[in-house]
Amino acid sequence: MGRLVMKFGGTSVADIDRIRNVACHVKREVDAGHEVAVVVSAMSGKTNELVGWCAQAAPLHDTREYDAVVASGEQVTAGLLAITLQAMGIQARSWQGWQVPILTSNVHGSARILDIDGEELIARFKERNEVAVIAGFQGLNKETGRITTLGRGGSDTSAVAVAAAIRADRCDIYTDVDGVYTTDPRVVPKARRLDKVAFEEMLELASLGAKVLQVRSVELGMVHNVRVFVRSSFDRPEDIDPHGTPPGTLICSEEEIVEQQVVTGIAFSKDEAQISIRDVQDKPGVAAAIFGPLAEASINVDMIVQNVSADGAKTDLTFTVPAADYTRAKDTIAKAKGKIGYQRLDSATDVAKVSVIGIGMRSHAGVAAEAFRALAERNINIRAITTSEIKFSVLIDAAYTELAVRTLHTLYGLDKA
């Protein structure tokens, strides 16, 4: 017997039939003897409807009111699921963010969870054998007593935070994919589902992971050591053995991963643009002169590559930005030309970033070197390289993305048998 959080997203609770399916999943775990808290999103489409109304009422609006409006979506689902569970003979009650309470910061629209008191939920597991159905995505502004929301995808974060608060053995995230893959299976048909991924790896998997799980929820899981299990919401409840090991990916601390691969996965992103600044003065403060204005313009800079200059006077500096911010970024740099002092601006939008991630890299030398060799053999030119402890990324021409990903996937032994 254990304690579980089960999280279901919008498509899983899109209508009463789907909610009934969710209730069957919950019943399975209750029948197996688990104490269960369920975290739910709004019925699919509802959040968009509510957001649309706010925008229609006023394009720029008070985020406190936005939060009051939009949080109603999860409130509805929580009540409906509680009713459905009760109809199946399961003790259940709904909890809104302010009822638990889930206390958050005061940044309406994208608040951060500060504290959840899980003791009453736990007491009710014990005393009443009651399932807690918790509205995801929302909380209570501790200072003002007003409703907050956590931003899009916030229900994942709610689920992990609740799991930490009630000291759950596991937080099951039911999604429309059945786990985290070594890379995008649409690009590499031989991509394998990973049984386990370390929190740190999941964070670095970014482009792969973001489709599966909100980044903030992974951070929270890492901090509180909440084991997060990504599994499919399409599995039929009656087909699942509650005592068996269901298909899915467990995101956990690296200690729990016994047979650690050197490389866990290959992520990639074509949504990149490269800007190179030529012949920059190699002196203190020049990086600040470049990246200060970009930050002020809210442009997210990703890779930054600066080489040591040969003569100690001039250097080249390359960075990438999201393709959508390309023109704005170029204009921002051009405007700051006087302050930065550079010769020429080169740029490209047909570039892609390919990243190789694996905790095993920490203890294995030469992992990146193998990749450079393999890419060279395929005549793929590397424009820039960055490395971190458990990841390295290369910037290449976008046309070679799929070839590069497949090459590296095979190289590191990730192809499925």
Would you tell me which residues interact with a copy of itself (CB under 8 A)?
Answer: 16, 19-20, 50, 53-54, 56-58, 61-62, 64-66, 68-69, 71-73, 75-76, 78-80, 82-84, 86-87, 93-94, 96, 98-99, 145-147
Q: Which is nearer to a copy of itself, 94 or 269 (CB)?
A: 94
- Strands of the 265-281 sheet, one edge to the other: 304-306, 314-322, 265-281, 344-357, 391-397, 382-388
Pick the closer one to a copy of itself by CB: 117 or 256: 117
> Could you write out the DSSP letters of every residue in 147-187?
EEE--TTHHHHHHHHHHHHTT-SEEEEEESSSS-BSS-TTT
Q: Least distance from C-beta 20 to a copy of itself, angstroms?
A: 8
Nearer to a copy of itself, 19 or 230 (CB): 19
Q: Which residues contact 131 (CB under 8 A, 6 or more apart)?
A: 26, 30, 36, 37, 38, 82, 85, 90, 91, 92, 93
Spatial contact of 173 and 230, defined as CB atoms under 8 Å apart: yes
Q: Which residue has the tokens 């002092």?
A: 341
Nearer to a copy of itself, 46 or 383 (CB): 46
In Å, the largest CA–CA distance within the chain is: 78
The answer to whether the Cα torsion of 20, 26, 29, 32 is positive or negative is: negative
Cα–Cα distance between 183 and 99 in angstroms, integer?
A: 40
Nearest approach in angstroms of CB 94 to a copy of itself is: 5
Spacing of C-alpha 403 from chain mean position: 26
Nearer CB in complex with a copy of itself: 19/122: 19
To a copy of itself, the closest distance from the beta carbon of 52 in angstroms equals 9
Task: For residue 297, give every residue at least 6 positions away whose Cβ sits within 8 Å of its Cβ, in sequence order, or none.
Answer: 328, 329, 332
Least distance between a copy of itself and beta carbon 129 (Å): 16
Task: Tell me phi and psi for residue 95, to 5 degrees.
Answer: -135, 125
Q: Closer CB to a copy of itself, residue 40 or residue 394?
A: 40
Which is nearer to a copy of itself, 140 or 257 (by Cβ)?
A: 140
Task: Give percent helix, percent strand, percent coil of the chain, each to the nearest 5.
Answer: 40, 25, 35
CB of 118 vs a copy of itself, minimal distance in Å: 17
Task: Between 8 and 400, name the residue whose CB sits nearer to a copy of itself.
Answer: 8
In the complex, least distance from residue 169 CB atom to a copy of itself, rounded to whole angstroms: 27
Give the nearest distance from C-beta 396 to a copy of itself in angstroms. Answer: 46
Q: In angstroms, give the least distance from the CB of 219 to a copy of itself.
A: 30
The whole-angstrom distance between residue 313's C-alpha and the CA centroid of its chain comes to 41
Within 8 A by CB and 6+ apart from 82, the residues are 92, 93, 94, 131, 133
